[in-house]
Copies of this chain bind each other. A is one copy, B any other.
Amino acid sequence: MPIKSFDELIAHLKTHHLKKRVAAVCPNDESSHQAIANAERNGIITPLVFQSDDPAEAARQAVEAVRRGEADVIMKGFVNTDVLLRAILNKETGILRKGRVMTHITLAQLADYHKLLFFTDAAVIPYPTQEQRVAQIQYVTHYCQQLGIERPRISLIHCSEKVDAKNFPFTVGYGEIKEMAAQGAFGPCIIDGPLDLKTSCSKESMAVKHIDSPIAGDADALIFPDIEAGNLFYKTITLFCQARTAGVLQGPDVPVVLPSRGDSAESKYLSLCLACLL
């Protein structure tokens, strides 16, 4: 049975003893501290704290721990995102291999949806190239498999279901991705698009529009066209739909939990859980 809620995800991590070693960089703010304590208490992680008067030094040490194979996840605490990313991206001492795409993935639980929903990219890549989009799908498909979804349904989002090379060139790329999927490039999965949010997540909307898509209003993941869409979806569901969310940065050698200013302790805890799933 696939995991369909954050509570099921947490229960899965507790019972399967997948305890991960988390390199926490300056986790001295209240919500990071709470999130880490909660995850440790539940037996999900072993924290490794990297603290220094110089946050860049703490970040460097956390990245070094990953390189030595001593940490499975990095978590940002009270340190600027730029400082942590500089350590991760350092060409000599960092952990983003050449050719790897770095992108942000969110997992959301919405009161009005019947399961968890992944989406890209709320935080990192402004307008994904075709290569970057392919990588986003690979990461998301892998996460879906970890949730126990045998054939994840991945929807390539656009405001309409029509390919429009003139105004929206990326919709042509969507067609190429569907061909790659048909040839097995992403393993067992169902990919369709361009589709809008409603057709992707509501059988009724699909029926009304007389659209026949194998996503069938039952998407496991939404690949958004750009960061404006991804970021707006994230902020809309958290501000207006009481969504619970978890986010990770994917692409470096280990997942990176990179909360925004103002993310709650719960959201940081759920992000840690998501990162521990891989």
Contact = CB atoms under 8 A, between A and B. Distances in A.
A88 to B, nearest CB: 20
A214 B241 CA distance: 25
Q: How many copies does the complex hold?
A: 2
Interface string A190-212: 00000011100110010011000
Given A226-B228, A228-B228, A237 B240 contact: yes
Given A167-B126, A235-B198, A205 B159 contact: no
B113 A235 contact: no
A69 interface: no
A77 interface: no
Interface size class of A (residues with CB under 8 A): 35 or more
Contact of A201 (B226, B227, B239): B239
A126 B236 contact: no
Contacts of A240: 110-113, 237, 241, 243
Nearest to A122: B159
Interface in A203-249: 205, 208-209, 224-233, 235-243
Contacts of A21: none
A238 to B, nearest CB: 8
A157 interface: yes
A243 to B, nearest CB: 8
Contacts of A262: 205, 208-209
B198 A228 contact: no
A202 to B, nearest CB: 6
A41 to B, nearest CB: 26
Nearest to A222: B232
A226 B227 CA distance: 11
Most buried by B among A110, A228, A242, A262: A228
Interface in A128-181: 157-159, 167-168
